[in-house]
Amino acid sequence: MKPLQSTKMDRVPAQSVELPDPPRVRAGEVYVFKFLLNRPTVGDLELLDSQERERARRFAFERDRQRFVAAHARVRRTLAAYLNRPPESVRFSASRYGKPQIANPPIDLRFNLSHAGNVALLAVALSREVGIDIEQERPIEVLPLAQRFFSKSEFNALCNLPATERQPAFFRCWTRKEAFIKALGAGLFFALDDFEVSIQEAESDQLLRACAVAPDELLRWRIRSVPAPAGYCGAVAAGPGDWHVVRWRADME
């Protein structure tokens, strides 16, 4: 595998994330940033720490390496704006289950990142666990996967849809479930079929429908859709209590 290097092709100057001055994050808000990863930005690689660079080197394809670098550099720039420190100085640790978190933050800032294709979504919240997921829709056999990973009611709801509607519904369900799992930070300790979400397209203030293994979680957590580019599907989950989404378009274009 070739060493990871910054490419001189199609690079754009480094830019700051467009945040309020000074940036503020309120307790009842979850901020969702959208980034495009189709062009590397000057200085992205230099912002990453040694662990992030090592992870980047493991990608087999240059395109995937560059997207990883771009996504993580944008996370650093965004969090640094809130923390009032240089992006390269932001340090990360891991929760008990491996969820990334800011090491020794001056404020209780939580975040979560997801990227697919050339799009990344970053969720940021204050004193509130948060999870976000984005998936790029693609032709797959949805029913076998849904039968394996979804709850019985979710699978039945998918089967009852016309065949042409099943693929987008599958990805809506998948992103909502992944966002919830990431918010919990429990990883494989909380199975995808241990809870139920809506597979409907219509947005709602609460897409979490049931949680049989832990009924109290239904009252603590909320899942909501996040607008995504055509061909993508996104969702964000956070808790406890009520909150609303503030969306930022930070494409670095």
**SS3 of the chain: helix, strand, coil, percent, to 5:** 35, 25, 40
Quick one: 226 and 175 in the same domain?
yes
Decide if 43 contacts 57 (C-beta within 8 A).
Answer: no
- The residue segments making up the domain with residue 72 are 29-133
Tokens of 95: 């929760």
Q: What is the pTM of this model?
A: 0.88
Quick one: 107 and 144 in the same domain?
no
**Per residue in 94-148, pLDDT tens?**
888 788 999 999 999 999 999 999 999 999 999 999 999 999 999 999 999 999 9
> What's the rounded Cα separation, in Å, for the pair 113 and 132?
6
User: Is the model more confident about 216 or about 226?
Assistant: 226
Which CATH number goes with the domain that contains 79? 3.90.470.20
> What's the rounded Cα separation, in Å, for the pair 24 and 204?
26
Classify residue 17: in a domain, yes or no.
Answer: no
Mean pLDDT of 20-47: 82
**Per residue in 153-190, pLDDT tens?**
999 999 999 999 999 999 999 999 999 999 988 655 67
Q: Tokens 């933050």 — which residue?
A: 105
Quick one: 128 and 140 in the same domain?
no
Domains of the chain: total:
2
DSSP states of 130-191 as a string? EEEEEEE-----HHHHHHHHS-HHHHHHHHTS-HHHHHHHHHHHHHHHHHHHHHHT-GGGS-
Q: Which of 108, 133, 158 is the last residue of a domain?
A: 133
